[in-house]
Amino acid sequence: MGEQAGQEGARLAIVGAGPAGLMAAEAAVQAGVQVDVYDAMPSAGRKFLLAGRGGLNLTHSEAPERFLTRLRPQQPALEAMVRGFSPEALRAWAASLGIETFVGTSGRVFPTDMKAAPLLRAWLHRLRAAGVRFHMRHRWEGWDGAGRPVFSTPGGTQSIDCAALVLALGGGSWARLGSDGAWVPVLQEAGVAVRPLQPSNCGFDVEGGWTPFFTERHAGQPFKSVAIEFGGVRRKGEFVATASGVEGSLVYAFSADLREAIARDGQATLSLDLLPDRDAAFVLREVTHPRGSRSLSSHLRGRLGLEGIKMAMLHERLPREAVQDPARLAAAIKALPVTLSAPRPIDEAISSAGGVEWSALDERLMLRARPGVFCAGEMLDWEAPTGGYLLTATMATGRVAGEGAAHWLVQGQAKRPQAADAA
């Protein structure tokens, strides 16, 4: 049991067996440190496995300068960490586990079989072979009076001895997979500045909701090949209508800006282009083309290919008189205002924004308020869109924290973390 391991001398406890914690374990064990990994769940990497369900997007192949613009807020320390564990390095690392990768048409990088499970299996096997010990169903609760990390376990509450601690506890989405954000008040009480966790890469509710007719017929259907413009940025892609609003990759790409606008203004109105490959003049010409006895729907279907959810959206969001007015209808097809009133709850989000503030950390990701305690992964204050950026930055920070903890131990400053300033 890890509880006795402290007798062997300096050792590192890592809490969180997600990709950040596992990468920290790998970096530390390579540096010759004895590592024990703890996790509240019965098995490791549950969110990572879920990420593999829709095709594990490990990283992105775009140029580093462009890649780094995806991370926000702009943070030189994080950028340096991602430069130190680049997409190429990540692909080479996957290959070292026997997992070959390919670049998809979008530039996103996936394992050839698209799955997370074989990679996780090989990774855990390699870590165990290197001596890393795993302690599942150990939920970190904070520190005891002597400054030792405290866990609730099936056998009761236990404090452990360790010479350094890495926290890789994840963000606040999909709590049932383990990362529930319960660490936020614990770290705040320990004097660590934490920005509140918020949904990122999330869906949004439309103002006033959809009509029951629209929800019944179209919830779950995709808007294919459309464009969204918001805040002066325009992107093409796809998203999905939900029972109360919108979600999907194109919406996620705007989610940080939309969330911030809603927090500031109470709502946010995006502009939806239902025919991004047609210019406004063409659309107006086709809409105004005499339609004879044809219904408006079959006219628009025949001349512009507008049908299904796209047609329904026009009826849903436009007053009747605008639908009957060719100029207004044509303008709406190219720029339909859609007002969003709230992000969906954080538990539904792909990831979370907020977390441990950068000012609370040194360049090795050690907490200034808690020498010997390091943080990594999604629990740090950064966010990124989907596209492989999340896992890349998660693993890059895990690596820095693991190396930082090993360095701390090797430097011989290792004593029980925070023993001096324990409550």
Ligand X SMILES: Cc1cc2nc3c(=O)[nH]c(=O)nc-3n(C[C@H](O)[C@H](O)[C@H](O)COP(=O)(O)OP(=O)(O)OC[C@H]3O[C@@H](n4cnc5c(N)ncnc54)[C@H](O)[C@@H]3O)c2cc1C
Residue numbers of the site for ligand X (CB under 6 A)? 15-21, 38-41, 46-48, 50-51, 56-57, 139-140, 168-170, 173-174, 178-179, 182-183, 350-351, 377-378, 388, 390-391, 394
The smaller minimum CB distance to ligand X, of residues 316 and 378, is found at 378
The smaller minimum CB distance to ligand X, of residues 56 and 268, is found at 56
The smaller minimum CB distance to ligand X, of residues 13 and 306, is found at 13
CB of 152 to ligand X, least distance (A): 9
The smaller minimum CB distance to ligand X, of residues 171 and 245, is found at 171
Q: Measured between alpha carbons, how far is 192 from 361 in angstroms, rounded to an integer?
A: 9
Beta-bridge partner residues of 229: 234, 271
CB of 286 to ligand X, least distance (A): 39
The smaller minimum CB distance to ligand X, of residues 102 and 213, is found at 102
CB of 30 to ligand X, least distance (A): 18
Q: Measured between alpha carbons, how far is 56 from 385 in angstroms, rounded to an integer?
A: 14
CB of 196 to ligand X, least distance (A): 17
CB of 304 to ligand X, least distance (A): 34
Beta-bridge partner residues of 72: 383
The smaller minimum CB distance to ligand X, of residues 139 and 415, is found at 139
Q: Is residue 345 reached through a cis peptide bond, with omega within 30 degrees of 0 on the bond before it?
A: no
CB of 404 to ligand X, least distance (A): 16
Contacts of 260 (CB under 8 A, 6+ apart): none
CB of 386 to ligand X, least distance (A): 6
The smaller minimum CB distance to ligand X, of residues 40 and 275, is found at 40
Contact 227, 234 (CB under 8 A): yes
CB of 76 to ligand X, least distance (A): 20
Q: Are strands 194-200 and 149-153 parallel, antiparallel or unpaired?
A: unpaired
Structure-block tokens of residue 278: 């047609």
Contacts of 195 (CB under 8 A, 6+ apart): 353, 354, 355, 357, 381
The smaller minimum CB distance to ligand X, of residues 34 and 351, is found at 351
- Using DSSP, state whether 198 is helix, strand or coil: strand
Contacts of 406 (CB under 8 A, 6+ apart): 12, 27, 28, 31, 32, 33
Closest Cα partner for 45 from 28, 81, 21, 62?
21
Q: What Cα–Cα distance (Å) separates residue 95 from each residue in 54, 100, 111, 190?
A: 21, 5, 9, 40
The smaller minimum CB distance to ligand X, of residues 255 and 351, is found at 351
CB of 157 to ligand X, least distance (A): 13
Q: Which sign does the torsion angle of CA 97, 99, 100, 103 carry? A: negative
Q: Measured between alpha carbons, how far is 235 from 276 in angstroms, rounded to an integer?
A: 10
